[in-house]
Structure 1
Amino acid sequence: MSELLDAVRSGASPAELLDCEVPTRFQAAYTRLDEIGIFEGETDKDVRRSIHVGEVDMPELAPDEALVAVMSAAVNFNSVWTAIFEPIPTFYFLNKLGQRDRRHELPYHVFGSDAAGVVVRTGSMVRHYKVGDKVVVSPAIVDDQDPIIQEDGVLTHEPLAWGYENNYGAFGQYCIVKAHQLMPKPAHLSWEESAANTLCAGTAYRMLIGGHGARMKMGDVVLVWGATGGLGSYAVQLVKQAGGIPVAVVSSEEKAELVRRQGCEHVLNRSEIDFGDRGMNHPKAWRRLGEEIRRLTGEDPHIVFEYLGRETFGASTYVARRGGKVVTCGSSTGYRHEYDNRYLWMNVKSIVGSHGFNYQEAIETNRLFQLGMLYPTLSKVYPMEQTAEAVRAVQTNNHIGKVGVLVGATAEHQGIDDPAARERFGEDMITLYRQ
């Protein structure tokens, strides 16, 4: 264990942190270049075979970067993609990035795209954060010299997903981040609670609330697929807080009860509805879904919050009301979608593509957590030594909400600096998904 990490854990002052030497190596979870292809021909691509924990070298710090001691991290589905080397191995991204920054082109990939920790060093160009600051990390990396960033950072020429398309991500005792990725940690949340939110909550914010997405308004009916998943669990909260009417789609009564406890009145349990032999791939199922939504709300949805893709996209474009919108950010069940275009053009509906979020949207989302208007949907936490088990839980969908990983933190519930605010916001809601 390094002196620097021990100092962070003990709450050392900025001066004391600066007095500690930065270690030359640190512990991290990573994948290996020489293991690409190990899952070829297999149906169960068990990520526990491809994720390793061991020592890696400490990189140099660029002028616009900060070195963060990671206290906790969280798993996203891109962690699964990294570990199964699909849809393409992430080493392709590292090789491409390595053409202009050799630090990232290595035979191992320290991955992970959500983290919370303490700034322990800053480059000479970092102005708004300093050593000792407690932060959460936005996973969006953009080219700050591209003119389009003045309009929307997502539109820059080559935006990168931190910890997926570059190295030194969240699953290490230290991570490297750009200055424009740093945000203040919510004082009432623990390390693992703070680390769980940014990627999914920020993505949902842009899809629903931000000016570049569906631009939801008060009173809008919003259908949310996978409402207890990483994205859906934040979408339900955002719709409620913005004055909308969420209709949550879940797959079990246990999940239905959980989303009701989030304050969602209208819940559809797919396991209790007969959609026919072909499921959501058939127009009869689309009509059945529409009937159920109207039974609950009396009308069709203004917006469909879509990220499942192939399995649900035909239904989504059908059930959206005349003039409604389908906002999509992913395709976890398959990228090639089929839908009946008549229902789109003849009813003047729109499909809105949404990818990640810009820095301002990340800051606004983080502010909602600071205000207690959003709360984490963290369900389970693993130690860093069991990172592979944490990613496996997401790979097999053996989880709800978000899955966390303790890195520098030695136990859960550390890092809470404002217990009074926590009590005011409600312990039961903050820990709802962990109960």
Structure 2
Amino acid sequence: MDTLAEAVLSGAAPEELSRLPLPQSFAAAHLRASDAGVFDGTADRDVRRTLHVGPVPMPRIAPDEVVVAVMASSINYNTVWSAMFEPISTFTALRRFARQGGYAARHDLPHQIVGSDAAGVVVRVGDGVRHWNVGDHVMVSPAYVDDQDPGAHADGMMGPEGRAWGYETNFGGLAHYTVVRASQLVPKPAHLTWEEAASITLCAGTAYRMLVSDNGAQIKQGDVVLVWGATGGLGGFAVQMVKNGGGVAVGVVSSERKAQILREQGCDVIIDRREIGMGDDSDGTADAIEYGKRLGRRIRAELGEDPRVAFDYVGQATFGTSVHVVRRGGVVVTCGSSTGYQHQYDNRYLWMNLKRVIGSHIANLQEQWDTARLFRQGGLVPILTDVYPLAETAEALRLVQTNRHVGKVGVLCLAPAEGLGVTDPDARERIGVERLTSWRRYATMARV
């Protein structure tokens, strides 16, 4: 371990951190452009074949950037896509970004450091950074926004040059260090551990924009909200937000084990998708209306009404059913498509019933700060289950790829052990350690 990392771990003062040099290289989970064709003709795109952990060079820092010593990160499905080189190689996105010239050219490398979540300590700030200092404890938002783009000023996510950090950019969070724009930083809630804090920005921020924000469904008291994949990284936070907002959460899962988790977490209505005939091998396309009818009957039997909102990040297998099942004037809010991007639905049920589809992507900085505030208040809690060391990132990624996990899967980067990083133990005790760690009992014991 380099001297700067050792100083961070020892709790050195900001002055000392500023004096110590950045290492010339550091350990990172990364992909290699030379692996792009390794899955040609292969049915199982096992991400353990393409995700490498080893030394990479330290990039130079731009005036509006900071270097963060990463204590912990977590796994998101976009890293699965990157490691499978689907739907395209993310090295294509890096080359496209690099064509802007200037500091963007740094991103076009024969390797890509992946990861779209991180929590850690600021160890360098660029000359143009005003609101952050060396020594600050931060989380990193995955929204990589061009603040000189006029489209980004009404809503950061509307800028045409916006990107997903660690997916469409280089220097992601699954590493000992990351380089990010100052506009990506969010204060770390002081009562959370490093691994807990590193598991919330992408999924919780995305769920907030989809459900609560003016840019999403704007849920209100009494709203019935259908949440697909309700024990997943996005779905687990969505259920919390619906409950906190006075709504009624209808969680759809794929197994009795996941149904039991939702019962323990207080979800209002729990439906195993096998109850409506939607098995693991169903793409949801041909039978979407029939699934919708069955699902609607099931929800009405429990609640007496149809959902106003469908929270859908599953995609191809569920989207047509979502459009069918929401009530007249209802909303389907969608981000991502883990089962496929080609969505099919019967448009009669959309236009004739005045329904809406809202596309949503990550969250702008204000939405991320609003989400972090809910964690600080104790209204939201982490859904962290499994935690892996950086050296085993490929195994963690495989766990997510094969959908054998629930909640969020964390990765310890510089942090030598779990449970570190809490600077407000009183708040942790007040919110409740058992509540904050309630998802840990759902950890997947078997390594895949």
Bin the TM-score by the shorter chain. Answer: over 0.9
Partner residue in 2 for 1:87: 87
Q: Is 1:239 the counterpart of 2:245 in the alignment?
A: no
Residue pair 2:115, 2:173 contacting (<8 A) in 1 also: yes
In structure 1, what is the Cα distance between the partners aligned to 2:283 and 2:271? 15
Q: Is 1:356 the counterpart of 2:362 in the alignment?
A: yes
- Pairing partner for 1:329 from 328, 331, 335: 335
Deviation at 1:273, TM superposition (A): 4.4
The amino acid across from 1:324 in the alignment is G
Q: Percent identity?
A: 57
Partner residue in 2 for 1:69: 69
Residue pair 2:282, 2:317 contacting (<8 A) in 1 also: no
- Pairing partner for 2:260 from 257, 262, 276: 257
Partner residue in 1 for 2:169: 166
Residue pair 2:283, 2:339 contacting (<8 A) in 1 also: no
Residue pair 2:283, 2:318 contacting (<8 A) in 1 also: no
In structure 1, what is the Cα distance between the partners aligned to 2:194 and 2:282? 44
Residue pair 1:275, 1:284 contacting (<8 A) in 2 also: no
- Pairing partner for 2:130 from 120, 127, 131: 127
In the TM superposition, 1:154-193 aligns within 5 A as 154-193=157-196
In the TM superposition, 1:25-424 aligns within 5 A as 25-99=25-99, 100=101, 101-274=104-277, 280=284, 281-282=286-287, 283-424=289-430
Deviation at 1:30, TM superposition (A): 0.6
Q: What is the TM-score normalised by the length of structure 2?
A: 0.95
The amino acid across from 1:317 in the alignment is V
Q: Which runs of 5+ in 1 are unaligned?
A: none
The amino acid across from 1:49 in the alignment is R
Deviation at 1:146, TM superposition (A): 1.4
In structure 1, what is the Cα distance between the partners aligned to 2:282 and 2:373? 43
Deviates more, 1:409-418 or 1:264-273: 264-273
The amino acid across from 1:308 in the alignment is V
In structure 2, what is the Cα distance between the partners aligned to 1:112 and 1:334? 21
In structure 2, what is the Cα distance between the partners aligned to 1:163 and 1:63? 19
Secondary structure of 1:294 counterpart:
helix
Identify if the C-alpha distance between structure 1 residues 320 and 128 changes in structure 2 by more than 3 Å, giving closer, same or farther. same
Secondary structure of 1:114 counterpart:
coil
Identify if the C-alpha distance between structure 1 residues 43 and 279 changes in structure 2 by more than 3 Å, giving closer, same or farther. closer
The amino acid across from 2:31 in the alignment is T
Partner residue in 2 for 1:19: 19
In structure 1, what is the Cα distance between the partners aligned to 2:278 and 2:264? 26
Residue pair 2:276, 2:291 contacting (<8 A) in 1 also: no
The amino acid across from 2:267 in the alignment is C
Secondary structure of 1:424 counterpart:
helix
1:318-365 Cα shifts (integer Å, max 9, x gaps) = 110011111111211111111111111111111111111111111111
In structure 2, what is the Cα distance between the partners aligned to 1:124 and 1:179? 11
1:368-388 Cα shifts (integer Å, max 9, x gaps) = 111111111111010000010
Identify if the C-alpha distance between structure 1 residues 169 and 274 changes in structure 2 by more than 3 Å, giving closer, same or farther. closer
Q: Which runs of 5+ in 2 are unaligned?
A: 442-448
The amino acid across from 2:248 in the alignment is I
1:154-208 Cα shifts (integer Å, max 9, x gaps) = 1102101001111111011110000000111111110000000110111110111
Deviation at 1:275, TM superposition (A): 5.4
Q: CA RMSD in A?
A: 1.3
Identify if the C-alpha distance between structure 1 residues 134 and 82 changes in structure 2 by more than 3 Å, giving closer, same or farther. same
Identify if the C-alpha distance between structure 1 residues 381 and 353 changes in structure 2 by more than 3 Å, giving closer, same or farther. same
Residue pair 1:279, 1:285 contacting (<8 A) in 2 also: no
Residue pair 1:275, 1:288 contacting (<8 A) in 2 also: no
In structure 1, what is the Cα distance between the partners aligned to 2:283 and 2:151? 43
Deviation at 1:430, TM superposition (A): 1.2
Deviation at 1:428, TM superposition (A): 1.9
Q: Which 4+ residue blocks in structure 1 deviate beyond 3 angstroms?
A: 271-281
Q: What is the TM-score normalised by the length of structure 1?
A: 0.98
Aligned residues: 435
Q: Is 1:430 the counterpart of 2:436 in the alignment?
A: yes
Partner residue in 1 for 2:445: none
Secondary structure of 1:326 counterpart:
strand
Deviates more, 1:298-307 or 1:259-268: 259-268
Residue pair 1:206, 1:213 contacting (<8 A) in 2 also: yes
In structure 2, what is the Cα distance between the partners aligned to 1:124 and 1:32? 32
Residue pair 2:283, 2:316 contacting (<8 A) in 1 also: no
Residue pair 1:224, 1:248 contacting (<8 A) in 2 also: yes
